[in-house]
Structure 1
Amino acid sequence: MNRTITTMALSVFLLTGAALPPTGPVPDQRPEENKSGGAATQANDKPDKPEKPEKPSTAPNGPEQSKTTPSSEQPPIPPVAPTPLPSPAESPVNGKQPEQTPSEPAEAPPPPIMTEDPAAYSQCLKDLTAAGVTFVEKPRIDDGDGCGIDKPVEVSSILPGVALSPKATLRCEAALELSKWVQTSVLPAAEQALQDKGKLTSVNQASSYICRKRNSKTTGKISEHARGNAIDIASLGFEKGTVDMTIAEEKNPTMSGAFQRTLNASACLYFTTVLAPGSDETHMDHMHLDLIRRNNDARYCRDPKE
């Protein structure tokens, strides 16, 4: 028993001598709830350091941004004006641009006034004089639009005793061919067919030089009258009357008909164009004679319409 008491006394002594340390371990704090109601971050889980705010950037031509654009939002896209669609006239077809409507071709300019060869002109004047033609040389004519005569002559009589009425302004070559035709064809035919009319006294013309287009139209080619190359014969004057240029069909059995047909045919020996009376609507009462130049000296002789 004594042993038991000793053991208990020793135990009390040991317990009494063992003092508590001045400080003890600090217990873990109780987790606190965050203000939003979620769990607080544990002490051993340190929160990530907050990202440093980006420096405010200045947009081109715009105000400075005060905040960094949140990563969850895209920056606003400025509106883009729609590209206008081309009109049907401008739209390409099969990769090609539409063809432009061609403009109407411009009317070809008239050829320049024919320049006379000095040697040929000098010889022509000599031939006119030899034939007994009465004429006067005139100054150069240039009326524009291709109308004119380089060296015109004004003829008052086509043969001795045979007037050209009224006076005609022509190129020398046209005057010479007219004189030859009257001398070699008109006079002999009149002596055979019109003996009762007496001698030929005049060749009556309706048109010589005049600035105009063919058949006096507003468009088309220039007339040979505008070059001094043409003359219109309206009638022939005789001592005993006047004989008009008339329409003479082939079936006309009279001597006057034969005379007119002789004039129509023989004129083609001297002129490159002969339009007999009645050959078309604009040549019903006169003969048209001209010296237009064609390839191979081709002739165009038109009789009355049947």
Structure 2
Amino acid sequence: MAFSSLLRSAASITALSLAMSGCSIGGLMTSFSVDTSSKSQPPVTRTAENTTGANAQPANGQQVANASEDASAIDASKPASQSIEQVIAQTQKLQEPDTAGTSIDGWLGVAEEGAGASGEAGPGSAGKAMIAARGQGADVAKGGASDPGIDPIETASLLPHVDPGGTGGSATGKQKRIPGVMPLSERQCRSQLSDMGVKFSEVSAIANGKHCGIDYPVEVQSLSGDVKVSPEVVVNCQTALSFAQWVQNEVAPAVRVRYLTGLDSVQTMGGYSCRRMNNGKRNTDWSEHATGNAIDVGGFRLNNGREIDVSPKGLFAFRERGLLKSIRASSCGYFSTVLGPGYPKHDDHFHFDLKQRSSGRAYCS
């Protein structure tokens, strides 16, 4: 009896142990379980949309479609971007014949003569097109033009060379110089003169007939080292620059070496002069003086008061003859033509000019 009681107790304990073990394993498996169910809604087919009621909620795809339609409605109020065909059509308008042959005055916005039926000046069609293209939207007032957005300083170097021509420089059919606009080469030349310490003043344009005149003349007053020019001479800027460089680099050093003193002044005998070569008449070519491209020098004055004129020297004038020979030879590196004593009608002065020859060679006599 006691044995069966003991057996029942053992069986009860074994059952209880197994039950507890089962609960532990089940809980452990539950804690490591993974939810594999799909969270996404099933796709709605067109058939399903038709079978849904009038109050049914729209699917996600339908919401996106409605949002796209709303965005299209908003964008419709904005101007549509231009197509490539429209861009090409606008570009072709700028190439129509009415813009062909437009002068630089039109592009710069400078009034042209005879513009308009009433004689009032205004910019050309090309100038108006440029103003509109730059978005300025400014109306052109009568008698003048608005700024077309071009820097005249940058554009100046593109201007054609102005030929004075005609009486007073008003020959028909020739490009007029634009007030206040100076070519780049002229500005650079003046900058070089200033850097050298040359004192000069601007002179109004000279136009005297078909062969005479200077577009941008200068009047030279003194050179580097405060060497005076006496009398002051009017020439074009390139001639003034070559002259100043020659005096600074060759004449002044030669004077210091031979006379142990400095150069006080250079005595000139002419710059611009509307005449033919050697003051000749009809059958003679025009002189380089007629365009301010030449300068004549008659002598030099030293700081000690000594004056040396350009003329043939005697046998015993060693220093003077040596000085004149030296500076005459050196001038060939600065001018394309050098004439002096020994050449007809040049016994009392040096003639220097910058004549351009087809051969490119200089003539030093």
Give the TM-score band, short-chain normalised: 0.5 to 0.7
What is the CA-CA distance between 1:294 and the residue it aligns to?
A: 1.2
Shift of 1:269: 0.3
Alignment-derived partner of residue 268 in structure 1: 332
Please tell me whether the aligned partners of residues 164 and 210 of structure 2 are also in contact (alpha carbons under 8 angstroms).
Answer: no
The match for 1:189 is 254
1:176 aligns with 2:260: no
How far the C-alpha of 1:247 sits from its partner, in A, is: 2.4
User: 2 CA distance for matches of 1:158 and 1:182?
Assistant: 8
Deviation at 1:113, TM superposition (A): 4.5
Aligned equivalents of 2:182 and 2:355: distance in 1? 17
Give distance in 2, aligned partners of 1:155 and 1:270: 17
Deviations 1:107-141 (A, max 9, x none): xxxx9559998111111010000011101111110
* 1:278–1:285 Cα contact (<8 Å) kept: no
For the 8 Å contact 2:289–2:295, the answer to whether it is kept is yes
Name the CA distance, whole Å, in 1 between partners of 2:203 and 2:252: 29
TM-score by length of structure 2 reads 0.49
Matches for 1:141-156 after TM superposition, within 5 Å: 141-156=206-221
CA distance in 2, matches of 1:253, 1:132: 33
Q: Name whichever structure is richer in helix by fraction.
A: 2
Residue identity opposite 1:180 in structure 2: Q
Select the structure with the greater relative contact order (CA < 8 A; seq sep ≥ 6).
1
Match of 1:236 in 2: 300
Maintained 8 Å contact 1:133/1:158? yes
SS of aligned partner of 2:286 = coil
State how far apart, in whole Å, the 2-side matches of 1:265 and 1:248 are: 16
Which of the residues 177, 202, 218 maps onto 1:137? 202
Question: Structure 2: how far apart are the matches of 1:190 and 1:246?
Answer: 17
Larger radius of gyration: 1
Q: The residue matched to 1:165 in structure 2 has which SS? A: strand
Correspondence for 2:193 among 128, 133, 152: 128
Q: Which runs of 5+ in 1 are unaligned?
A: 1-110
Residues 216-260 of structure 1: CA deviation (Å, up to 9, x unaligned): 1112111101100111100101122211112269x8881221111
Q: Does the C-alpha gap of structure 1 residues 112 and 222 become closer, same or farther in structure 2, counting only changes over 3 Å?
A: farther
Percent of residue pairs identical = 36
**Displacement of 1:297:** 2.9
1:112, 1:146 within 8 Å by CA — same for their partners in 2?
no
Unmatched runs of 5 consecutive residues or more in structure 2: 1-161, 166-176
The corresponding residue for 2:183 is 118
Q: TM-score normalized by structure 1?
A: 0.58
Deviation digits for residues 162-195 of structure 1 (CA, Å, limit 9, x no counterpart): 1111111110000000000001100111111222
When residues 131 and 217 of structure 1 are mapped into structure 2, their CA distance, relative to the original with a 3 A threshold, is: same
Aligned counterparts of 2:297 and 2:251: Cα–Cα separation in 1? 12
- Residue 267 to residue 117, structure 1, CA distance change in 2 (3 Å): farther
For these two proteins, the number of residue pairs brought into alignment is 188
2:278 to 215, 226, 231: 215
CA gap of 1:248–1:264, structure 2 versus 1, over 3 A, is: farther
Structure with greater proportional strand content: 1
Match of 2:232 among 139, 157, 167: 167
Q: What value does the CA root-mean-square deviation take over the aligned residues?
A: 2.3
Counterpart-to-counterpart distance in 1, 2:342 and 2:257 = 24
Q: Secondary structure at the match of 1:157?
A: strand
Question: What secondary structure is seen at the aligned counterpart in 2 of 1:166?
Answer: strand
